[in-house]
Amino acid sequence: MPRTTVHLAVYDTFADWETGHTTAHLTQNGYTVRTVGPTTEPVVTMGGVRIQPDLALAGLDPEDSALLILTGARLWDSGDDLAPFAATARTFLDAGVPVAAICGATAGLAREGLLDEREHTSAVSFYLDATGYKGGAHYREADAVTDGDLITAGPTEPVALAREVFARLGVYEGEKLDAWYRLFHDSDASAFAILDA
């Protein structure tokens, strides 16, 4: 039976706007989103929203998940508080469970060594170069990149991140996936008819 639970990592300074398209459309297509925090204590997003995590990171098992989503946060660049989330991403990838990372989370994955051999993107290449990682040759100038089970996107590309997640999970495919992206990225109203069909 396919897994239908998606885990969204939440932590202080979590970038609220980066996963709205992804989580909203996953839940409309049969997935359940559960939040995972450092503990089950509430966290406060960059936008000031207080979130009570559904479970603590220590209790997260890739066998119970269809996807792990890591968003940007100021904490990715101000110490190693979020390093356990990057380590968990390694566990997910080793188990063959997809991971989607956007914005500062890509730097966390770079520090963990997860981008050294995989095609990826981020805000700009020199942002990741500052982490000391060895994956510069695999950096792609693109809105979002999928390499096997790893999806990466820059901070201004939440719609592109969602598109890649939907493609990887088979939520939307082909013409429907293209129409979804044109509607939400390009404001192409003609795409609505394809999605509504």
How far apart CA 179 and CA 194 sit, in angstroms, is: 6
Contacts of 62 (CB under 8 A, 6+ apart): 68, 91, 92, 95, 97
How far apart CA 162 and CA 144 sit, in angstroms, is: 9
* Number of H-type helices and E-type strands within the chain: 7, 9
One-letter-per-residue 3-state SS of 74-110: HHHHCCCCCHHHHHHHHHHHHCCCCEEEECHHHHHHH
Q: Could you give the dihedral angle defined by the CA atoms of residues 37, 90, 165 and 30, in that order, rounded to the nearest 10 degrees?
A: -60
Identify whether 103 is a catalytic site residue.
yes
Cα atoms in the Cβ-side hemisphere of radius 13 Å centred on 189 = 0
Options 15, 69, 97, 103, the catalytic residue: 103
What are phi and psi for residue 32, nearest 5 degrees?
A: -115, 135
Residues acting as catalytic residues: 103
